[in-house]
DNA sequence: ACAAAAGTGTTCTTCTTACACCCATGC
DNA sequence: GCATGGGTGTAAGAAGAACACTTTTGT
């Protein structure tokens, strides 16, 4: 709905800051778009948010949620704005993935896209579908539908990248609720990496890093012994990484 | 010389595929440029290639070598073309770094740049200066001059990224000659990481990875015992990484 | 009592670190 | 023979892997 006007309604002489009257928002760099890879965790399964696209040429294919970069907005701000427009949620974890610009990636027109990836916490996971304007779907990364343009390539790159990042940067926490148990964290890694981990060893490894602060609270309403809740401490991580510590799973 | 026409000679209505008669090459996406971070190793010091820019506003500042992306060329092809234009050398190691697009990074006009980083082997290191058209300079990354626009920010990000990459991907070899000694490799890591490493331990760590094939040759003309020469084997690395191996220094 | 998950302990192996040492070669 | 770098050995300690075990709590 947001990204697909150019090739049909516009002849091939759009200007960089020229204001288009009809279908395009004002002040966009028309050759440049954002595509967001929005990841979430659902029952220990890694999901990505896809949107349905109704285009004449491509019948109802799925796509990454994206849109145009405005002429007067920073790249990251554009990605954050579009992220909020599509999910209804603010302030998610968001980082640039890569620019994709194959000549023929977009029909009729040269369009370069800058892909960002975002992580949705468990608290917001359900809201994302509820708040967004229909035709939006959490797809399992292990069972993806056919995607439009080069979005399969972008997503595949992004999943590989996420698998790498999650092992080398403490970003996985962004997929969990603010307060989480060690087993939830372990399940997260097992889900993203498609593997199984040894519980005692995983606990020790994480705890030795001193990145988690205990909430002095326990799980509520579980049908078994309640686990301690922890919270990730970005301040401690910042200090540690300045003194040479590097996160590794 | 290549990147600095837009703000002065062009009024603010360039078209995406419109052919400009005078100063711009044809068929460029005018809002999009490439900037290359070209690294080389000189006497165990990490250097980066900078070019002098003669612009009215900024008196003789240094810049990253870059240029326009043509309308009909892939991003990576554009980076490779510009890399060859500036260095005279083909087929260097080249990967995308990141897109930079702060609103005010470029004067008068919104220009997004996609930064790539390249590694120049020891064989080509001297040629780069010799072949390129003047006003080009290998600067030590530890002693950088003032740079134009946001190039200092881009370079600082790139150096940090290179330091990380070199520890997690076997890319350092691209800075050495094709055949190199283990001590050359160690000196490379010491130069890039600004640290010292234990010789016996470094050797064992590298050799255990099985990524180096001995050339069955020794150094020539050194005033001490000649070291064995090795060569990096990308095929072996490919196989290993497919079976789960991950490179770590 | 039992199921289900929380959490601890122990052993064996491997890797890391630090440092001592011998080897080959040109001058 | 001595300086210079090439190359190997080794022992102590840290970290990782595998798995047995005890604890807590809701039903």
Question: Are A87 and A195 found together in one domain?
Answer: no
At residue B51, the pLDDT reads 95
Question: Are A210 and A225 found together in one domain?
Answer: yes
Give A117 to chain B, closest Cα distance, Å: 13
Nucleotides in chain D near protein beta carbons (<7 Å): 3-10, 16-20, 23-27
Query: Which residue range(s) make up the domain with B190?
Result: 176-249
Flag whether pLDDT at B247 surpasses 80: yes
Average confidence (pLDDT) over B50-70: 87
Question: Are B64 and B162 found together in one domain?
Answer: yes
At residue B12, the pLDDT reads 31
CB contact under 8 A, A29 and B96: no
B173 touches B123 (CB < 8 A) = no
Which CATH number do you get for residue B109?
3.90.79.10
A225: CB within 7 A of chain D nucleic strand: yes
Nucleotides in chain C near protein beta carbons (<7 Å): 3-10, 16-20, 23-27
Question: Domain boundary residue among B154, B169, B184?
Answer: B169
**How distant is C1' of D13 from CA of A110, in Å?**
59
> Judging by DSSP bridges, how do beta strands B46-53 and B136-140 pair with one another?
antiparallel
Across the interface, of B12, B18, B101, the residue whose CB is closest to A75 is: B101
Question: Are A60 and A82 found together in one domain?
Answer: yes
Question: Are B123 and B36 found together in one domain?
Answer: yes
**Cα separation of A190 and A45, whole Å?**
9
Question: Are B2 and B62 found together in one domain?
Answer: yes
Which CATH number do you get for residue B227?
1.10.10.10
At residue A27, the pLDDT reads 61
Six-digit token pair at B248?
């770590």
Question: Are A94 and A53 found together in one domain?
Answer: yes
**Cα separation of B100 and A198, whole Å?**
41
What would the pLDDT profile of B148-203 be if each residue is shown by its tens digit? 999 999 999 999 999 999 999 999 999 999 999 999 999 999 999 999 999 999 99
Could you tell me if residue A50 is left (phi over 0), alpha (psi between -120 and 50 degrees) or otherwise beta? beta
Strands (E), chain B: 28-41, 46-53, 61-63, 66-70, 93-100, 112-119, 136-140, 212-218, 228-232
Six-digit token pair at A195?
């593997």
Of A11-20, B16-25, B131-140, which has the strongest mean pLDDT?
Answer: B131-140
Question: Domain boundary residue among A154, A169, A184?
Answer: A169
Question: Domain boundary residue among B119, B151, B169?
Answer: B169
Question: Are A140 and A32 found together in one domain?
Answer: yes
Question: Are A52 and A104 found together in one domain?
Answer: yes
> Judging by DSSP bridges, how do beta strands B93-100 and A66-70 pair with one another?
unpaired
Question: Are A149 and A214 found together in one domain?
Answer: no
B1: CB within 7 A of chain D nucleic strand: no
**Number of folded domains in chain A?**
2
What would the pLDDT profile of B201-241 be if each residue is shown by its tens digit? 999 999 999 999 999 999 998 889 999 999 999 999 999 98
A182: CB within 7 A of chain C nucleic strand: yes
Between vectors from CA A154 to CA A17 and to CA B175, what angle results, nearest 5°? 95
Residue with more model confidence, B43 or B133:
B43
A111 three-state secondary structure: coil
Hits for CB < 7 Å against strand C across B residues 208-237: 222-226
Residues of B in contact with A96 (CB under 8 A): 98-99
Q: pTM for the whole thing?
A: 0.88
Closest-CA residue of chain B to A77: B102
> Judging by DSSP bridges, how do beta strands B28-41 and B112-119 pair with one another?
parallel
Give B31 to chain A, closest Cα distance, Å: 7
Question: Are A39 and A138 found together in one domain?
Answer: yes
Residue nearest to nucleotide C2 (CA to C1'): A224
Question: Are A181 and A158 found together in one domain?
Answer: no
Tens digit of pLDDT at every position of chain A (249 positions): 333 333 333 333 332 333 333 344 556 667 899 999 999 999 999 999 999 988 777 678 999 999 999 988 999 999 999 999 999 999 999 999 999 999 999 988 889 999 999 999 999 999 998 877 678 999 999 999 999 999 999 999 999 999 999 999 999 999 999 999 999 999 999 999 999 999 999 999 999 999 999 999 999 988 899 999 999 999 999 999 888 888 999
CB contact under 8 A, B15 and A14: yes
CB contact under 8 A, A16 and B12: yes
B226: CB within 7 A of chain D nucleic strand: yes
Burial of A172 (0-12, 13-18, 19+ CB in 10 A): buried
């Amino acid at each position: 709905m947001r990204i697909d006007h150019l090739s049909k309604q516009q002849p091939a002489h759009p200007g960089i800051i020229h204001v288009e009257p009809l279908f395009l928002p004002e002040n966009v760099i028309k050759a440049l778009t954002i595509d967001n890879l929005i990841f979430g965790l659902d029952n220990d399964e890694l999901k990505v948010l896809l949107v349905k696209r109704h285009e004449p040429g491509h019948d109802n294919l799925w796509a990454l949620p994206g849109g145009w970069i405005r002429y007067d907005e920073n790249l990251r701000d554009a990605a954050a704005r579009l992220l909020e427009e599509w999910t209804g949620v603010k302030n998610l974890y968001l980082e640039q993935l890569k620019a994709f610009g194959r000549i023929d990636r977009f029909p009729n027109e040269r369009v370069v896209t800058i892909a960002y990836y975002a992580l949705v916490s468990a608290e917001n996971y359900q809201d994302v579908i509820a708040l967004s304007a229909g035709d939006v779907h959490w797809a399992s990364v292990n069972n993806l539908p056919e995607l439009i343009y080069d979005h399969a390539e972008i997503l595949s790159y992004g999943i590989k990248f996420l698998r790498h990042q999650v092992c080398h940067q403490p970003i996985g926490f962004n997929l969990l609720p603010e307060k989480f148990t060690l087993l939830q964290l372990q399940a997260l890694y097992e889900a993203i990496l498609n593997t199984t981990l040894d519980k005692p060893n995983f606990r020790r490894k994480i705890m030795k890093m001193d990145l988690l602060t205990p909430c002095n609270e326990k799980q509520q309403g579980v049908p078994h012994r309640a686990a301690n809740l922890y919270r990730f401490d970005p301040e401690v991580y910042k200090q540690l990484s300045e003194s040479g510590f590097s996160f590794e799973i």
